[in-house]
Amino acid sequence: MPPTEDLKNVPRHIAIIMDGNGRWAKERGLPRTEGHRQGAETVRRVSEGCNELGVEFLTLYAFSSENWKRPKREVDALMKLLELFLRQKTPEMQEQNIRLQAIGRLHDLPESCQAQLHRSIESTSQNTGLTLILALSYGGREEIVDGVKSLIESVERGHLDKGMIDIDVFGKHLYTRYYPDPDLLIRTSGEMRLSNFLLWQLSYTEFFITEKFWPDFGKDDLVEAVRAYGKRHRRFGAV
């Protein structure tokens, strides 16, 4: 970790679109699965770095709802990698006091992945350091649709009057209802789009784009992003 004494205003919540695993592997003549494996190691480094900086929440776009359209062989490899990552890294999360959570249509994951995810979440539930949130089978549009369905159900059951629905009430029906909106979004590989990630929650989030592929992103890059964030003036629509 590079010097951090000059850091000010560390973001409470960082969200990351982890992009470039496949291109990283292609540049090196390696299979895409090796890029994903290296990307999983970056998750470890960055989670550790956020914990050291005092970041409270880190949300990682780990597997999108659109990723199911990839070749079955790659999807199967990603699911196996996810399960292996959870099994191997949970003891480390325990040692580092990191609490694991997950958002998305988790029921779409293979049963073995769901079971391991549940075990990892349960075993880290009492930790009080960084909350690491994995967005799995996640899509921002899908989350909003599911939120609307949840609101309709609450109204139909008489738990909520439709006249009470506002921004705050709707937010309580989203996957992220237990977490604050991200202060900083980091996207690797230089792409300039949201890719259906946290569309509701990123309304006033500061962006940091780096050309580096995700496997090459390290703690020094994290500090650079946090330092850039500290220089921003967040007006939230005001003067």
Identified catalytic residue from 19, 21, 51, 183:
19
Identified catalytic residue from 9, 51, 67, 183:
67
> What span, in angstroms and rounded, lies between the C-alpha atoms of 95 and 26?
35
The helix (H) or strand (E) run that includes residue 26 is helix 21-27
> What span, in angstroms and rounded, lies between the C-alpha atoms of 131 and 119?
16
End-to-end CA distance of the chain: 36
Catalytic: 97? no
**Reduced 3-state DSSP string for 170-212:** HHCCCCCCCCCCCCEEEECCCCCCCCCCCCCCCCCCEEEECCC
Catalytic: 67? yes
Contacts 24+ apart (CB under 8 A), 201-209: 201/15, 201/174, 201/176, 202/15, 204/234, 204/236, 204/237, 205/15, 205/181, 206/11, 206/232, 206/234, 208/184
> What span, in angstroms and rounded, lies between the C-alpha atoms of 30 and 84?
20
Give the tokens for residue 140.
């921002």
Residues labelled as active-site residues: 19, 67
